[in-house]
């Protein structure tokens, strides 16, 4: 692993990262606002669409947040009719999570609106598209490696000291 030699390199990377996030997320934020779904809720919906039947615990690991936080998001989405929880026969404490038809439509609409914007950005990159794509893949892989060695987030405690 190469260490960042000086703070300037790290600062330039962070600035570029946040500039990209701001520029790309503007379109998605408009769609989220129209859908009245928060970013964390939308992340849950996209993960469930990618892995139908995922459990709350597995979803929490993927999201990098606590099980209790994930459970709260799932409950809100279920109350809105966007997520269906199905008991797992082997373990009644677990529930398999599935998108409802309404959620599938919502996620597809957001994806369909977002996809053309990214196509235009890719076209704008022209000959640089391959190198930018490779750099993005390397960033994603590096972030996954760093996340893999970080300890999991502790569950919050209730007032009596027991897990919430």
* pLDDT above 80 for 81: yes
% of the chain at pLDDT higher than 70: 88
Q: Element (H or E) spanning 31, and its range?
A: helix 7-35
Residue 6's pLDDT is what? 67
pLDDT band at 139 (very low <50, low <70, confident <90, very high): very high
Comparing 25-34, 79-88, 115-124, the range with the smallest average pLDDT is: 25-34
Mean pLDDT, rounded, for 129-157:
84
* Domains within the chain, CATH numbers bracketed: 22-149 (1.10.10.10)
Q: If DSSP codes are grouped into helix, strand and coil, which group holds residue 34? A: helix
> CB-side exposure of 131: number of CA atoms within 13 Å?
4
Mean pLDDT of the chain: 86
Question: Quick one: pLDDT at residue 93?
Answer: 79
The enclosing H or E element of 92 equals strand 91-99
CA end-to-end span of the chain:
38
C-alpha–C-alpha distance, residues 115 and 121, integer Å: 10
Mean pLDDT calculated for residue range 18-46: 84
For residue 70, the model assigns a pLDDT of 96
**Mean of the pLDDT values across residues 95-115?**
91
Residue 56 has pLDDT above 90, yes or no: yes
């Amino acid at each position: 692993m190469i260490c960042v030699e000086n703070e300037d390199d790290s600062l330039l990377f962070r600035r570029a990262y946040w500039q990209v996030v701001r520029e790309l997320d503007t379109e998605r934020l408009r769609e989220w606002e129209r859908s009245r779904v928060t970013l964390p809720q939308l992340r849950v919906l996209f993960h469930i669409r990618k892995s139908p039947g995922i459990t709350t615990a597995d979803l929490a690991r993927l999201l990098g947040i606590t099980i209790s936080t994930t459970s709260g998001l799932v409950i809100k989405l279920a109350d809105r009719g966007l997520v269906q929880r199905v008991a797992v026969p082997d373990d009644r404490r677990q529930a398999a999570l599935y998108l409802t038809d309404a959620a599938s439509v919502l996620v597809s609409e957001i994806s369909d609106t977002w996809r053309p914007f990214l196509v235009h950005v890719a076209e704008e990159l022209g000959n640089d598209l391959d190198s930018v794509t490779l750099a993005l893949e390397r960033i994603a892989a590096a972030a996954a490696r760093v996340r893999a060695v970080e300890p999991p987030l502790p569950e919050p405690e209730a007032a009596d000291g027991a897990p919430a």
